Amino acid sequence: MAGRNFLFVPGPTNVPDRVLRAMHRAMEDHRSSDFPALAAPVLENLKKIFKTKSGHAVVFPSSGTGAWEASLSNTLSPGNKVLASRFGMFSHLWIDMAQRLGLQVEVIDAEWGEGAPIERYREALVADRSHAFKAVLFTHNETATGVTSDVAAIRRVLNDAGHPALLMVDGVSSIGSIDFRMDEWGVDLAITGSQKGLMLPAGLGIVCASQKALALSESAKLPRAFFDFGDMLKANTTGYFPYTPSLPLLYGLRESIDMLMEEGLENVFARHHRLAQGTRLAIQAWQLELCARSPQWYSNTVSAIMVPPGFNGAEVIDVAYRRYNLSLGAGLARMAGRLFRIGHLGDVNELMLMGAIAGAEMAMRDVGIKVTPGSGVAAAGEYWRSTAAPLARRELPPRAPDSQPAPSPGAKGKATAGAGR
Ligand SMILES: *Cc1c(COP(=O)(O)O)cnc(C)c1O
């Protein structure tokens, strides 16, 4: 097929050219004396993305699922009770993992499309006078249903109840795209992966652990080897890894952190909000419903769009892919066939997203869903026009460092890092 693929699944997300170039390197010796100069600042700078000063970032060569496992296995012991809610495929899978690891999970089931049930967490925690729950599992952004929950609220519930359980938060599809405040919210284990807001290929499972979580890891008895915090921290202290890290992904991560910092995290969050809002207006113009039941839960990284009864969401996705080279996210588990998802996170702008909205509109009409042609595109476009930043001068992107001639002695002018996106 001519032209580019439009990748709008909620992970893996589009990898910016700048990150692709940063990853395009020959392999190096990860035991060399130079290696810590790459690894140590990356581990330190990652903490800014999580908004933590006191936490410790740990990077495993795994996907986000590995970061779930690391969080559970480093801090808990067999038979420990944990409290979790289930309202989508990802919160379900994390619970399933906890059970398979030998934990006793008290599950609060909520409707798929609703956010984490804060008041039911409160009831369970207040009733737990003996503090049997050792951890609370909380999915910040449920990617399967396009629902964002209130982490600050679960922290307040723990504080109000005077409950010492660890707060573990799955931020895989929020961190780096939706505001996340590890220290302020008292998160003990904040979990993400490389292929969502961090705009990288899959392959890194990232956990930020609080001092409380690290202290518990000394007595936690669940078996672990590959995911052991102790081995990792010991090697990280000198800027090394206990086993072979993925060099390209570390170079890519260094670049993507730089990009997020250059744009400014608050601007990144505002961009995601604005893009999501335009998408939601398109969905409204199609007269379709989001899976998310109420605006308080609308996700700024993914919209899950219910198809009308009698239609199959999987067919929309297949037509979009085969006919228009557009990749949309599938409905998972009990949502299979009932919805399709547009991921709007990572390296995305208005017109890229316009491609996804236009393609979804065309594919829906192809399978017989009666949306008005152009309605979604018009609604999103008018919103983005009306909320666009004032026109500013555009600077040429700085030259890539590799293409710069060596400075002649005495030459002035400041060195610039990186090329444009
Ligand atoms: C993507 C995702 C994960 C982890 O998935 P991996 O495929 O293991 O990286 C976990 N939780 C949420 C909310 C996700 O969106």
Whether residue 306 sits in one domain with residue 258 = no
- More confidently predicted of 209 and 421: 209
| 212 and 88 in a common domain | yes
Q: Is 175 helix (H, G, I), strand (E, B) or coil?
A: coil
Statement to judge: residues 100 and 63 lie in one domain: yes
How many structural domains are present in the chain? 2
Q: Within a domain: residue 164?
A: yes
Confidence of residue 405 (pLDDT cuts 50, 70, 90): low
Q: Residues in the chain, how many?
A: 421
Cα(409)–Cα(418) distance, integer angstroms: 22
Determine, yes or no, domain membership for 410: no
pLDDT at position 310, please? 97
Residues 238-273: pLDDT tens digits? 999 999 999 999 999 999 999 999 999 999 999 999
Mutational test site, ligand 1, from 9, 59, 62, 63, max ligand atoms within 8 Å of CB: 63
What is the extent of the structural domain holding 347?
264-386
Residue 97 token pair: 């993992």
Give distance in angstroms: CA of 162 to centre of ligand 1.
31
**Residue 359 belongs to domain with CATH number:** 3.90.1150.10
Whether the per-residue pLDDT at 396 is higher than 90: the answer is no
Phi, psi of 302 (to 5 degrees): -150, 135
In this structure, the answer to whether residues 165 and 56 fall within a common structural domain is yes
Mean pLDDT of the chain: 95
> Over the stretch 318-328, which tens digit does the pLDDT of each residue have?
999 999 999 99
Tell me what percent of the residues of the chain surpass a pLDDT of 70. 95
Residues 174 and 295 in one domain: no
Question: Do 140 and 286 reside in the same domain of the chain?
Answer: no
Distance (angstroms) between ligand 1 centre and the Cα of 405 equals: 42
**Span from the CA of 144 to the centroid of ligand 1 (angstroms):** 10
Report pTM: 0.94
Residue 415 lies in a domain: no
Residue 193 falls inside a structural domain: yes
If asked whether residues 210 and 298 sit together in one domain, one would say no
pLDDT > 90? residue 401: no
Q: 274-283 pLDDT, tens per residue? A: 999 999 999 9
Q: What is the whole-number distance in angstroms between the Cα of residue 108 and the centre of ligand 1? A: 20
For position 412, what pLDDT does the model report?
47
Mean pLDDT, rounded, for 209-227:
97
Q: Note whether 361 and 249 are same-domain residues.
A: no
Nearest-CA residue for atom 6 of ligand 1:
64
Q: For the domain that residue 169 is a member of, what is the CATH number?
A: 3.40.640.10
Res. 156: pLDDT tops 50: yes
Average pLDDT estimate for 377-398: 93
Query: Is the pLDDT reported for residue 339 higher than 60?
Result: yes
Check whether 408 has a pLDDT greater than 60.
no
Verify that 172 and 81 share a domain, yes or no: yes
Same domain, 175 and 250: yes
For the CA of 139, the closest atom of ligand 1 is 13
Ligand 1: residues with CB < 6 A are 11, 63-65, 90, 139, 141, 143, 170, 172-173, 193, 202
**pLDDT tens, residue by residue, 301-313:** 999 999 999 999 9
Domain endpoint, select from 220, 244, 262:
262
The predicted-structure confidence for 183-203, as pLDDT tens digits, reads as follows 999 999 999 999 999 999 999
What pLDDT was estimated at residue 418? Answer: 42
Residues 283 and 367 in one domain: yes
- The domain boundary, picked from 262, 286, 309, lies at 262
SS3 content of the chain, % helix, strand, coil (to 5): 40, 15, 45
What's residue 398's pLDDT? 73
The b/e string for 269-290 (b: 16+ C-beta within 10 A; e otherwise) is bebbbbbbbbbbbbbebbebbb
Using alpha carbons, select from 13, 57, 35 the residue that is nearest to residue 194: 13
List, as one string, the DSSP characters of 17-57: HHHHHHH------TTSTTHHHHHHHHHHHHHHHHT-SS-EE
Same domain, 224 and 235: yes
Which residue's alpha carbon is nearest to atom 2 within ligand 1?
Answer: 172
